[in-house]
Amino acid sequence: MKRLEFLRAIEVDDEPSAFEGLDIDSMTVDSSYDGAKLGQGMTQDFIDDMISRFKNGKKLHRKYVYQIIAAVRQIVYDEPTMVEMEVQKDHKLTVCGDTHGQFFDLMELFRLNGFPTESHYYLFNGDFVDRGSWSTEIALLLYAYKWLRPKAFFLNRGNHETDDMNRVYGFEGECKAKYTERVFKLFSESFSALPLATLIGQKYFTLHGGLFSDDKTSLDDVRKLNRHQQRQPGQQGLMMEMLWTDPQPTPGRGPSKRGVGLQFGPDVTKRFCENNGLEAVIRSHEVRMEGYEVEHGGRCITVFSAPKYCDSTENKGAYINIGPEHKLEFHKFDAVPHPDIKPMVTFLSCTLDPTCSANLPVSGICPKLSHVYGVETCLHRNNWSICYLAVQRYHWKGVYSCISGSWLEIRLDHGINAVEYPT
């Protein structure tokens, strides 16, 4: 008996749901609140008002934030791990890649391509949050659309819809600064409920990262994957691979330059498409200078929708329009000006001794320097490693030095991204 009780007690190792004890109905919105009122369901009027509030730097009432996250968490929880959708006659689907808190660029995308409607579907392929300074605005807006039109608006989870990334790359801090810690916890749970992939017209397998470590993995395995058994993707397994992997030009598979996941070659993509009757894989997860790139003989397509990424990369953003005939139409767009708020996280490029850089975890915290969060990407050239380090914006000022054995000096005065490797 004792043993049974003990086993039952250790079964529940997850912390309790942040929704527990959250009594949204009893919260009141006092008359001083100057925004649109939200009743029991989302409306287009509320969304229109929300957009103008966000453009003017205003927030939503906390009660509405709780309502939106709770509603969408339930909607996406009930969706399959791979949502299967078709583009009907006279309808259109737009697939967008990473938006990363760049709210004003998302507004530009909608201005150019049209706002979501009942007949203009949108699929956002993960990484809505982190890095940019308007992650709560993007997440709340996308959620509001999802609540308004659950069958005409789609969301895939990205590797940034996870606790580890949000702690380091800005979203958790942004939630706390603009709303409350509980808002972050509710978002976190809703992220865990998001689908991991969308199959468009039986032809395009759309997911944030990419393909798998095992050729035998099929669409049926994704259909059968019970994503609700784990909140976070962890370091291995199907969920991790779907959120983290990248394509490579050479055949076969290779180690990831990120330290998490792996890289898959054109032959891997070809076999996966042939075995599963697919035209192509559409993924995001990596910046592309033209906003998109078609690789692997046309079978691996990357789309990225954050132009001038982190205010520091001169890339375009892109999106893909797909009609009922399922042809892909690529569009590019440029970044627009935004209020002068620096990105939550910036990148420093630097050169590291090859003996130290490769071992740094992607989101690990450097033991000597808590403000530098490890290596974002790492390319190996001529025995040297070119690395991009992530640094949170709260810690821009000052001069730091660190990194496992080798000393690396990072000068951050005035936000200048200069890094020197002392000889």
Residue ranges in contact with Mn ion by CB under 5 A: 127, 158-159, 285
For residue 160, indicate whether it is catalytic. yes
- Taking the complex as a whole, the smallest distance from the CB of residue 130 to Mn ion amounts, in Å, to 9
Q: Which is nearer to Mn ion, 67 or 135 (CB)?
A: 135
Using CA atoms, how far residue 52 sits from 49, 56, 59, 137, 317, in Å, is 5, 6, 10, 11, 23
Local structure of residue 98 (DSSP, 8 states): B
Backbone φ and ψ for 293, nearest 5 degrees, come out as: -155, 140
Q: How many C-beta atoms lie closer than 10 Å to residue 133's C-beta?
A: 22
Q: Which is nearer to Mn ion, 92 or 285 (CB)?
A: 285
Question: Is 363:374 a contact under the CB 8 Å cutoff?
Answer: yes
- Taking the complex as a whole, the smallest distance from the CB of residue 107 to Mn ion amounts, in Å, to 22
Among residues 249, 220, 225, which one has the least CA distance to residue 237?
225
Beta strands in 326-403 (DSSP E): 328-333, 345-352, 372-381, 384-392, 399-402
Residue with the closest Cβ to Mn ion? 285
The catalytic residue among 61, 100, 120, 160 is 160
- Taking the complex as a whole, the smallest distance from the CB of residue 208 to Mn ion amounts, in Å, to 6
- Taking the complex as a whole, the smallest distance from the CB of residue 373 to Mn ion amounts, in Å, to 15
Pairing of strands 317-322, 345-352: unpaired
- What is the spatial distance between Cα 138 and Cα 231, in angstroms, rounded to a whole number? 22
399, 404, 406, 410 alpha-carbon torsion, rounded to 10°: -20
For tokens 């509710």, the residue is 186
Q: Which is nearer to Mn ion, 200 or 207 (CB)?
A: 207
- Taking the complex as a whole, the smallest distance from the CB of residue 160 to Mn ion amounts, in Å, to 6
Q: Which is nearer to Mn ion, 127 or 174 (CB)?
A: 127
Question: Is 97:207 a contact under the CB 8 Å cutoff?
Answer: no
Tokens of 302: 């990357």
- Taking the complex as a whole, the smallest distance from the CB of residue 35 to Mn ion amounts, in Å, to 32
Q: Which is nearer to Mn ion, 133 or 284 (CB)?
A: 284
Among residues 161, 379, 362, 404, which one has the least CA distance to residue 254?
379
φ/ψ region of 31 (left if φ > 0, alpha if ψ in -120 to 50, else beta) reads alpha
Q: Which is nearer to Mn ion, 67 or 346 (CB)?
A: 346
Among residues 281, 280, 306, which one has the least CA distance to residue 291?
306
| Residues annotated as part of the active site | 160
